[in-house]
Amino acid sequence: MSYQKILLNIFFLLPAWVLRIFVWKKDVYIRGQVLDFKSSILIALTPSSLLTKVEFADDLRNAINDARIAMPVSAKSLVEVKTVDHELLSEGSSILLREYTPKVLTTEKVVLYFHGGGYVIGDVMTHDRWVSNMANILEAKVYSLNYRLAPENKFPKAIDDACLTLEWLNNLGYQNSNISLCGDSAGAHLAAATSNHLAMSNKSMPSSQCLIYPMTDPSCSSESHSLFGDGYFLTNDTMVWFWEQLRGSNNDNEDIRFDLSKFPINLKNPKTLIITAGFDPLCDEGEEYAALLNNAGVSIEHIHYPNMFHGFVTMTKLKAAKYAAEDFLSDYKKIL
């Protein structure tokens, strides 16, 4: 084990009050919210994204993903979860679908999960611990999809992969009414975009969707982008760059599956749970999307964690992040 990993594990074990003795750092107050103290230290020690400053290549994606897997900040599941890998073919490309089965199953409904990473980075393995814990807490089977990533695969290729996976699940006997869509960040966008696609195609809806700090608006112009767009893991420049990698043409900006902020008043959607974090540049657009769904008559619940930041569900070695994740999963379980 590297010394960096040892130091990181010690950091996670130390209570916040002990850290306050040895680390002088002002609490961060913005918009009447205070950032969790241990989270603020971890953020301060983490370098800002360099993605916007490089020519992206698959080798870089692999390096970023491998670094995240090697230094996990997501808590390991204490209860064993059985995993089985399936291979799906999408337009000649092989994509991984990982099935998670917890020891205790209390529902016949299943979750189709989409990982975050701006549609550019991340994969099933970077989110493996989080999805394992989610399956245990929900007491439900979860399928995690390695959808095709940008910039090699522009919009709407990921939606095609999601729809292919739904058809695969349908063939296993799971109708859409027994499938819930869930994702974090870009994965939340993909979940919502897939629901919009199904509604536009007059196809049956998923039973529900859980959108965890979703990216929804490619303009990246909200107040939270200005307030939290630098110094809180996810930067405004990186978000703008992510959207540029995903966009195939300017016509995509008019597509309600791309720009979710254009959600129309007359479109169906499933029961929805939206999660936002106080110190997240995407906070305002997530809240605005919740309002759009509510105005359209969609059954919507919005839970906000004022002391959290973008990415907290995959950083549950932080106690505050763990508590927040477990808290909203208890609500998600009720709407499955």
Whether the link from the prior residue into 156 is cis, omega within 30° of 0, is yes
Angle at 30 between CA 29 and CA 34, to 5 degrees: 40
222 is a catalytic site residue: no
280 is a catalytic site residue: yes
Catalytic residue among 123, 128, 280, 284: 280
Catalytic residue among 39, 40, 77, 185: 185
- Which residues fall within 8 angstroms of residue 184, CB to CB, at 6 or more apart? 115, 116, 127, 212, 213, 311, 313, 314
185 is a catalytic site residue: yes
Residues in the chain: 336
Distance CA 65, CA 122 (A): 6
Distance CA 323, CA 316 (A): 8
Question: Is residue 187 a contact partner of residue 246, using CB atoms and an 8 Å limit?
Answer: no
Closest C-alpha among 65, 239, 243, 246 to residue 150: 246
Residues serving a catalytic function are: 185, 280, 310
